[in-house]
Homo-oligomer: A and B are copies of this chain.
Amino acid sequence: MEILRSWLIAPANRPSFLRKWHSCVADCYVLDLEDGTPETEKEATRRALPEIVAELKRGGLSGTLYVRTNAPRSPHTPRDLDAVLATDIDGISIPKLGSVEELKPYVCAIEVAEKARPGKRFGIIGGIESANGVLNVTAICAADPHLVAVYFGAEDFATDVGGMRRTRQGLEVLYARSRVVLGAHAARIAAVDHAVLDFRDEEQFREDSEFGRNLGFDGKVCIHPRQAELANLYFAPTPQEIDFSRRLVAAYEDAERRGIGTIAFEGLMVDGPLVKRARGVVAAADRIASRP
């Protein structure tokens, strides 16, 4: 599974935002051709895309580079795909993905582009941010091997469902978030949690990241470079977790050598699943530590 702690998005038509990316720490950078780029700017931005991508790649980035195209039924989408898949990006993000059917034209375009450029492979990160998207998330996640992740867009979801009010605790989207994580992880792809729009409220970002992390999310949509720093921190095992996990694995392996499969460890009755999870924590910490 890809490391996707921080998925940083900015409008593709705002060079002042993009220039900052060279000093950022995100795991994935996303040039937004959809909502972030207004109608009147879409065509010009699309034309500028090869130069934007080339410049970003030249300057060096800490993570992968994606473009968010327009949504499934938008008239912009075919032209977006033509422009985007001719560049050196790592993949596309599809907003408002509502069904397996809607995924198909994007996969087709990618397969054509991959055939034309042997060795090149594009990823897809699907946006689950509508009533239909949440209802169909399990099928969408399992539909195509290009999918490396889905992100949950709480604001678009709340708008599409209609009448929802977003709260700080977020119980109104607990069902949707739970369903997205479950669908993504059942298909063994990553799940990226929604954005916190108040980009100066670091306390809310921390609380919301922790809740998302508890639910199983692998990372967070970030709308500001500072959020990417924080997300990298919150979506990784803590030193305490790593330490606890190493000790638990050692104690369990010791017991196993004595023919014992269930042990009492620091007050907990421990067997298979906790040992497997502890090994997962150690492996995740190692993978993050060994990032280039």
A residues 41-77 in Cβ contact with B at 8 Å: 41
Within 8 A of B (CB), among A260-279: 260-262, 264, 267-274, 276-277
Q: A58 CA to B148 CA in the complex, in Å? A: 56
- Which residues of B are found within 8 Å of A259, using beta-carbon distances? 13, 38, 40-41
Q: Which residues of B contact A1 (CB under 8 A)?
A: 162
Decide yes or no whether A256 CB sits under 8 A from chain B.
yes
Number of interface residues of A (CB under 8 A): 76
Assess whether A35 is in contact with B200, with CB atoms less than 8 Å apart.
Answer: no
Partner of A156, one of B34, B156, B164, B273: B273
**Contact across chains for B159 and A277 when beta carbons are under 8 A apart:** yes
The answer to whether the Cβ of A178 comes within 8 Å of any Cβ in the partner chain is yes
The yes or no answer to A225 lying at the interface (CB within 8 A) is no
Binary B-proximity of A121-145 (CB < 8 A = 1, otherwise 0): 0000000010110110010000000
**A111 is an interface residue with CB less than 8 A from chain B:** no
A213 surroundings in chain B (CB, below 8 A): 163, 165
Contact flag A267-B200 (CB < 8 Å), given A37-B261, A182-B135, A273-B158: yes
Chain B positions within 8 Å of A159 at CB level: 273-274, 276-277, 280
Chain B residues with Cβ below 8 Å from A199 are: 264, 267, 269
- Chain B residues contacting A167 (CB-CB under 8 Å) are 214
CB proximity of A33 to chain B, nearest CB, Å: 10
CB distance from A121 to the nearest CB of B (A): 24
Quick one: closest B residue to A186, CB to CB?
B131
Residues of B within 8 A of A131 (CB): 182, 185-186
Q: A37-B261, A162-B185, A178-B176 are in contact. Are A197 and B277 (CB under 8 A)?
A: no
In the complex, the count of this chain's copies comes to 3
A215: interface (CB < 8 Å): yes
CB distance from A211 to the nearest CB of B (A): 8
Q: Provide the bound-state CA to CA distance between A7 and B138, in Å.
A: 32
Whether, in the assembled complex, A11 has its beta carbon less than 8 Å from a beta carbon of chain B, the answer is yes
Q: What are 12 sample pairs from A and B whose C-beta atoms fall under 8 A apart?
A: A13-B259, A34-B272, A41-B261, A131-B186, A132-B186, A135-B182, A156-B273, A159-B273, A165-B214, A171-B211, A174-B174, A175-B175
- Chain A positions within 8 Å of B, measured between CB atoms, are 1, 10-11, 13-14, 32, 34-41, 129, 131-132, 134-135, 138, 153, 155-156, 158-167, 171-172, 174-176, 178-179, 181-182, 185-186, 195, 197-201, 211, 213-218, 223-224, 256, 259-262, 264, 267-274, 276-277, 280
Q: Assuming A36-B261, A38-B256, what are 13 further A-B pairs, CB within 8 angstroms?
A: A1-B162, A14-B262, A155-B274, A158-B273, A159-B280, A161-B186, A161-B216, A164-B215, A165-B214, A171-B174, A175-B178, A198-B268, A200-B267
